[in-house]
Amino acid sequence: MTVNTRPSLLRIDSSADDSGESVSRRLTTLFADLWCERHGTAGYRHRDLAVEPVPPISSAYCVLGRRVEVKKSVPPSEVGALVENAQEEREWALTLPLITEVLAADTVLFGVPMYNFAVPAALKAWIDRVSFPGAFPEGSLAGTRVVVVLARGGAYGPGTPREAFDFQEPYLRAYFGDLGVAGEHLHLVRAEMTLADRLPELARFQPFAEKSLAEATAALTALLTG
Domain ranges of the chain: 9-225
Ligand-binding site membership of 171 (annotated): no
Ligand-binding site membership of 110 (annotated): no
> What is the spatial distance between Cα 134 and Cα 130, in angstroms, rounded to a whole number?
10
Whether the CB-CB separation of 145 and 183 falls below 8 Å is answered with no
176-186 confidence digits (pLDDT tens):
999 999 999 99
SS3 content of the chain, % helix, strand, coil (to 5): 50, 15, 40
Ligand-binding site membership of 58 (annotated): no
- Predicted pLDDT of residue 59: 98
72-122 confidence digits (pLDDT tens):
889 999 999 999 999 999 999 999 999 999 999 999 999 999 999 999 999
Sequence-ordered strand ranges (E) for the chain? 9-13, 44-48, 107-113, 145-151, 186-191
Ligand-binding site membership of 115 (annotated): yes
The answer to whether the pTM exceeds 0.75 is yes
Ligand-binding site membership of 1 (annotated): no
Enumerate helices (H) and strands (E) in the chain, giving the number of each: 7, 5
- Predicted pLDDT of residue 10: 98
5 confidence band (pLDDT: 50, 70, 90): low
> What is the spatial distance between Cα 193 and Cα 204, in angstroms, rounded to a whole number?
10
Whether the CB-CB separation of 221 and 189 falls below 8 Å is answered with no
Distances (CA, A) of 118 to 23, 24, 64, 82, 179: 16, 14, 28, 35, 19
Domain 9-225 is in which class?
Answer: alpha beta
